[in-house]
Amino acid sequence: MASERQYSPLDRLLLQADTALRTLLPFSGQPGRPSPAIVQPDAQLDEQQTRHIAGLMRINHTGEVCAQALYQGQALTAKLPEVRAAMEHAAEEEIDHLAWCEQRIRQLGSQPSVLNPLFYGLSFGVGAVAGLISDKVSLGFVAATEDQVVKHLDDHLEQLPPEDEKSRAILEQMRTDEQAHASNALEAGGLRFPAPVKLGMSLLSKVMTSSTYRI
């Protein structure tokens, strides 16, 4: 049985740079699963509805950019090989969400947030620091982050017009996947963050959502 390939620090940095480019460049993420929106009918949306839905999907797209960066930062500094592999696998699954959101944004005649490079850099740094502290903290951060994402998705699902079945299908599948990521992180030994820490994370997420809704 072949052993797992060992990467040098330089190899890992180059892989991280490649991932960053694939995350931030338009249409560069290749999903492993087709978008759930494909089988849903088109809806007749007025200009205000279209603009609002595009803003919501832009927020979710930036959230997936942050998720990619977070997982990659954690994978870079994870101490146990199995934790590193879990982070890299989760990042691969998040690529689906990234691509689906971008596709929907383009369909609505809009574009992703210009702030994505900034949020990618910040999230990568946070993930790397969490991984340096300990794998338990790193996994706990994943669980707490995914809990925040699920709350955002629930809020956005309530705001969607009933006739927009395409966006709804995407967000519902994303919600299912994010809940699984949170559960897997805790089952792998992740730390359950206390309420004050989660509150701080919630406040930071509001900065992201309010800024990327329009730009």
CATH number at residue 51: 1.20.1260.10
pLDDT at 199: 80
Task: Give the total number of structural domains in the chain.
Answer: 1
- Which residue has better confidence, 131 or 109? 109
79 located within any domain: yes
* 146 has binding-site annotation: yes
Confidence tier at 6 by pLDDT (50, 70, 90): low
7 located within any domain: no
Copy the structure tokens of residue 101: 């959101």
2 located within any domain: no
* 94 has binding-site annotation: yes
* 152 has binding-site annotation: no
* 61 has binding-site annotation: no
62 located within any domain: yes
- Which residue has better confidence, 193 or 86? 193
* 181 has binding-site annotation: yes
What is the distance between the alpha carbons of residues 173 and 168, in angstroms, rounded to a whole number? 9
172 located within any domain: yes
131 located within any domain: yes
Q: Residue 107: is it exposed, middle or buried by C-beta count within 10 angstroms (0-12/13-18/19+)?
A: middle
- Which residue has better confidence, 136 or 28? 136
Range of 193's domain?
Answer: 47-212
26 located within any domain: no
Global confidence as pTM: 0.86
- Which residue has better confidence, 37 or 192? 37
* Chain centroid offset of residue 95 CA: 8
CB half-sphere exposure, 123, CA atoms < 13 A: 27
52 located within any domain: yes
What is the distance between the alpha carbons of residues 172 and 154, in angstroms, rounded to a whole number? 9
Confidence tier at 9 by pLDDT (50, 70, 90): low
